[in-house]
Amino acid sequence: MSEKYIKDKFLYEGKAKKLYTIKGSKDLLIQEFKDDATAFNALKKGTIENKGIINNEITAYIFNFLKKNGIKTHFVEKISDSEMVVKRLKIILIEVVVRNIAAGSLLKKTNFTEGKVLKDPIVEFYYKDDALGDPLINDSHALAMGIATESDMKTLKKMAEAINSLLKPFFKKRHLKLVDFKLEFGKDSKGKIMLGDEITPDTCRLWDDKTNEKLDKDRFRFDLGKVNESYVEVKKRICI
């Protein structure tokens, strides 16, 4: 670990990451990636070998790419194989999902068949609440529940669309189709909205652009095998 940052107190543990405070800093945290894997709102649990190391490296690479292209993120720097320093955010309790190709839960809500390329991306909002199963919501729900303002919702959609417009060609260049992906956002100490969490095969559906082979957490969700190998392959293609 970098000597610049001294891990202080354990703050929070989620499904895929742990957060720690940093001695002497109020605005920065250490985010540690775990090998733990969950699916179906944690009904299925397991581990993926070296997932923490792989996802840390992929997220650092992609967040650096986004930063260079004008997207504000919580990423500061990678400090070890499985850890990075991030800005402390007050997370907005909304998961933003962007869909470019029909797959996953979209198939249960529409007449699309898996693999249909959407004419325009679909942006969806989900309320971050495990007890409720992270339900699909709209702007009106968010405003009524007081979890975001009208301005927040416009910013989330605008940033999600901008990130998608950058990531689609980024992945295409690496012979991957960006099927869909989940984003989380938060506000820094000055109230500025920025991208948080991670962008990895845990949070994206990524298919090989020639074979449509799934190279993401769906391999774990549906017992498709070669889970670790797929994560390694994605890292190999991205971190070049």
Angle at 226 between CA 206 and CA 104, to 5 degrees: 40
pLDDT mean over 103-117:
97
Residue 63 and residue 166: Cα distance in Å, rounded? 11
Percent of the chain with pLDDT over 90: 96
If you ran DSSP here, which 8-state letter would residue 218 be given?
A: H
Is residue 65 within 8 Å of residue 57, measured between CB atoms? no
Global pTM reads: 0.96
Residue 225 and residue 219: Cα distance in Å, rounded? 6
- Residue 42 has what pLDDT? 82
- Residue 2 has what pLDDT? 55
Task: Domains for the chain: give ranges and CATH numbers.
Answer: 7-87 (3.30.200.20), 90-226 (3.30.470.20)
Torsion sign across C-alpha atoms 95, 101, 105, 107: positive
Question: What is the per-residue pLDDT across 44-55, written as a single tens digit (0 to 9) for each?
Answer: 999 999 999 999
- Model confidence at 1: pLDDT above 60: no
Residue 74 and residue 170: Cα distance in Å, rounded? 20
Lowest mean pLDDT among 7-11, 38-42, 122-126, 208-212: 38-42
Question: What is the per-residue pLDDT across 201-232, written as a single tens digit (0 to 9) for each?
Answer: 999 999 999 999 999 999 999 999 999 999 99
pLDDT mean over 168-180:
98
Residue 209 and residue 214: Cα distance in Å, rounded? 10
- Residue 156 has what pLDDT? 98
- Kindly indicate the confidence band of residue 196, based on its pLDDT and cuts at 50, 70 and 90: very high
- Kindly indicate the confidence band of residue 195, based on its pLDDT and cuts at 50, 70 and 90: very high
Residue 162 and residue 50: Cα distance in Å, rounded? 31
Query: What is the phi/psi pair of residue 229, to 5°?
Result: -60, -35
- Residue 34 has what pLDDT? 98
- Residue 24 has what pLDDT? 95
Q: How far is CA 24 from CA 6, 19, 175, in A?
A: 8, 16, 43
If you ran DSSP here, which 8-state letter would residue 214 be given?
A: B
- Kindly indicate the confidence band of residue 102, based on its pLDDT and cuts at 50, 70 and 90: very high
pLDDT mean over 137-145:
98
- Kindly indicate the confidence band of residue 166, based on its pLDDT and cuts at 50, 70 and 90: very high
- Residue 53 has what pLDDT? 98
Residue 214 and residue 10: Cα distance in Å, rounded? 35
- Residue 41 has what pLDDT? 83
Question: What is the per-residue pLDDT across 59-85, written as a single tens digit (0 to 9) for each?
Answer: 999 999 999 999 999 999 999 999 999
Q: How far is CA 2 from CA 19, 24, 77, 84, in A?
A: 16, 15, 10, 10
Average pLDDT of every residue of the chain: 97
pLDDT mean over 183-192:
97
